[in-house]
Structure 1
Amino acid sequence: MIDYYGYITTMSWRASIALEELELPYRAHSIVLGAGEQKSPEHLARNPFGLVPVIVDPDPADGGPPITVWESGAILLYLGEKTGQLIPSAPRERAEFYKWFFWIVGGYGGALGRSAGLNEEKRYRLFGGEAEYEQAVYDDFTEASRAAHATLDERLAGRDYIAGDYSMVDVAAMGSTVPYRLHGVADLSAFRNLSRWYDRVRARPAVERALALHKEEGHVLPDYYREALFDER
């Protein structure tokens, strides 16, 4: 049984959605970031950077010792290759998959992540209380996030999923997209194609189970942040 280590983060959601979609048996372990558990010797032995998610697979395909995988994108590719699911096998489709997968993990996820949670209080802490500079940085982050949403919206025109059939590209994108209100997007319906895709993927039972995994831990967050993080409507 795979051991999964995560918390209430969009990157963790990517891993938990993949595990649920693939119906792989796993044990979930919460690494409470606010309590510093990610810096414990035990967790640093799993991931030297002290980040989540991490998985430990005691039954790898080669029959050797357990394999530890960190970085959400690496976890999705590892699980897809382990099971032969959610990654296309044909060379042309696989090439299209990889292009969009790495953009989602790096470009899209990066743009959204930089904008998340930059509320007034956090901006003050990050940028030293200089209001003009704070606002300029916040505006830059928000504009980059909206541009990334627009790019994905354009890609989804006339498509049900991002790269052919439902795949790890959609899993990765869903993990990042759920808290869109924290990314400077008040209403996802402004991006019609993206909104349609979001509703379709969000309704998948595996996605709902994955998002519920750490939901009880959200009580430590301010109400407005928790509601936006889980897209509670």
Structure 2
Amino acid sequence: MSNNNQYTPPKVWEWNPGNGGEWASINRPTAGARHEHKLPVGKHPLQLYSLATPNGQKVTIMLEELLASGHKDAEYDAHLIDISEGDQFGSDFVDINPNSKIPALMDHAPASGQSTQRVFESGAILLYLAEKFDDLLPKDSAKRTEALSWLFWQMGSGPYVGGGFGHFYKYAPEPIEYAIDRFTMETKRQLDVLDKHLADNDFMAGDEYSIADIAIWPWYGNLVLGNVYDAVEFLQAESYKNLLRWARQIGDREAVKRGRLVNRTWGDEDEQLRERHDSSDIDKVIK
């Protein structure tokens, strides 16, 4: 492997604001609000502030699945947080998620009896909603444990795909062979983990669709189906036959088709829905 990079790390790192590629204008090594901004609040108890990245899709798919199962109280408003414009650093958003990452949820009718409940981190939101509505998490103790194991697997593994492979393969200002090789190897290892597991299981927790599938599909399903990073050929996605079967099966669910459109502002017009405040908003997009 060629190595023309002569960079030597200094004894103490200093931030270079111009070094960071596509996201250099918003990335900083500090936390907290950067500007005052009041978030809108819609008519439903559940207020989602998000963007249709894979992490954002987890929550909108979850909410659409709950609605499809007849949970009318799962109606929600989905407000757009444009991370390219730095909306995630507004004061109200940081009050909900001090980590300034989408998605973030405010429940104005929590079961605790409090006036509001904030929930941040996509996996935490999925678990919160599953418990609130008593759905999409297996009742059987063994299957529940399996679902939660895969949920946390995704939360720990996903950054290698997004911040690792996706960043260096798709978004870095220049290709770096070592970084691409390192994260491609790890991404393919993870795809193989899923493929082997799904050889003997219809869903991640066995025979029951759950929040584990909802967490994993937006990252790994979208990846092998060619919906993110344009890397199907590079990763030889067609070789993961069990994973592809599962990815297509999940992708064909009506709630998944609906949920992945919400807070989407790119791609074909019939796949975009900037905000969602009623089910009819999605109906207008899906003809």
In the superposition, the TM-score normalised over structure 2's length comes to: 0.69
Aligned to 1:105: 155
Question: Which piece of structure 1 moves more, 146-155 or 172-181?
Answer: 172-181
- Corresponding position: 1:135 with 2:184: no
Consecutive unaligned residues in structure 2, runs of 5 or more: 1-43, 68-73, 269-287
SS in 2 for 1:3: strand
- Corresponding position: 1:116 with 2:166: yes
Deviations, residues 108-152 of structure 1 (Å, cap 9, x unaligned): x1221121142476242xxxxxx6xx2111110111111101100
Q: Kindly state the Cα deviation for residue 30 of structure 1 after the two structures are TM-superposed.
A: 0.4
RMSD: 1.9
- Corresponding position: 1:205 with 2:254: yes
SS in 2 for 1:175: helix
Corresponding residue pairs, total: 210
Does the CA contact (< 8 Å) of 1:152 and 1:194 recur in 2?
yes
Letter in 1 for 2:179: V
Does the CA contact (< 8 Å) of 2:154 and 2:215 recur in 1?
yes
Q: Which has the higher helix share?
A: 1
Deviations, residues 177-209 of structure 1 (Å, cap 9, x unaligned): 213442854253210000000000000001000
SS in 1 for 2:172: helix
Q: Kindly state the Cα deviation for residue 219 of structure 1 after the two structures are TM-superposed.
A: 5.2
Deviations, residues 90-120 of structure 1 (Å, cap 9, x unaligned): 222222222222112212x122112114247
Paired-residue identity, %: 31
Q: Kindly state the Cα deviation for residue 79 of structure 1 after the two structures are TM-superposed.
A: 0.3
Q: Distance in 2 between matches of 1:120 and 1:147?
A: 19
Aligned to 1:174: 217
- Which of 172, 186, 191 is the matching residue for 1:149? 191
Structure with the greater alpha carbon radius of gyration: 2
Does the CA contact (< 8 Å) of 1:117 and 1:183 recur in 2?
no
Q: Distance in 2 between matches of 1:163 and 1:188?
A: 23
Does the CA contact (< 8 Å) of 2:168 and 2:179 recur in 1?
no
- Corresponding position: 1:25 with 2:50: no
Deviations, residues 23-54 of structure 1 (Å, cap 9, x unaligned): 11000100001111111112111111111001
- Which of 234, 245, 250 is the matching residue for 1:196? 245
Q: Distance in 1 between matches of 2:99 and 2:155?
A: 18
- Corresponding position: 1:95 with 2:138: no
Letter in 1 for 2:140: A
- Corresponding position: 1:9 with 2:53: yes
Letter in 2 for 1:112: V
Q: Kindly state the Cα deviation for residue 13 of structure 1 after the two structures are TM-superposed.
A: 0.7
Does the CA contact (< 8 Å) of 1:20 and 1:206 recur in 2?
yes
Consecutive unaligned residues in structure 1, runs of 5 or more: 125-130, 221-233
Letter in 1 for 2:65: E
Letter in 2 for 1:174: W
Does the CA contact (< 8 Å) of 1:55 and 1:70 recur in 2?
yes
Q: Distance in 2 between matches of 1:191 and 1:12?
A: 25
Does the CA contact (< 8 Å) of 1:53 and 1:70 recur in 2?
yes
- Corresponding position: 1:163 with 2:205: yes
- The 3 A distance-change label for structure 1 pair 119 and 98 is closer
Letter in 2 for 1:176: W
Does the CA contact (< 8 Å) of 2:165 and 2:187 recur in 1?
yes
Question: Which piece of structure 1 moves more, 4-13 or 71-80?
Answer: 4-13
- Corresponding position: 1:218 with 2:266: yes
Q: Distance in 1 between matches of 2:170 and 2:76?
A: 39
Aligned to 2:273: none
